[in-house]
Amino acid sequence: METWRGLLEVHVLPTIIKPIGICSVKGVSEMKVVKPDFIVAGGMRCATGWIRQCLRDHPNIYMPQREPHYFDRNYEKGVDWYLELFSSYEGEKLVGEKTASYFHYRDSPFRMIDMNPDVKVIVCLRDPVERMFSHYSMHAQTDETLRNQGFLESINSGSDFVNWSRYAEQVENFKDHIPEKNLRFVIYEDKDIDPTLSIQDLYTFLGVNPLYKSPSAELRTKLGQFEHNHWFWRTLSKIMLHPRAPLFFRQLYSEIRPSSSASAIDEEIYKELSIYFDDLPLLEELLGRKLDWRTRKYVTA
- Sequential pLDDT tens for the chain (301 residues): 445 445 444 444 444 433 333 333 334 444 466 899 999 999 999 999 999 999 999 999 999 989 999 999 999 999 999 999 999 999 999 999 999 999 999 999 999 999 999 999 999 999 999 999 989 988 888 898 988 999 999 999 888 899 999 999 999 999 999 999 999 999 999 988 899 999 999 999 999 999 999 988 877 666 566 666 677 877 877 787 777 778 778 777 777 777 765 566 889 999 999 999 999 999 999 999 999 999 999 998 6
Gap between the Cα atoms of 30 and 2, Å rounded: 48
Distance, in Å, from the CA atom of 110 to the CA atom of 71, rounded to the nearest integer, reads 9
Q: 73 by DSSP, 3-state: which?
A: coil
- Domains in the chain with CATH codes: 27-294 (3.40.50.300)
Q: Which residues pair with 100 in a beta bridge?
A: none
Q: In angstroms, rounded to a whole number, what is the distance separating the alpha carbons of residues 153 and 85?
A: 40
Residue 183 Cα to chain centre, angstroms = 16
Q: How far apart are CA 195 and CA 201, in angstroms?
A: 10
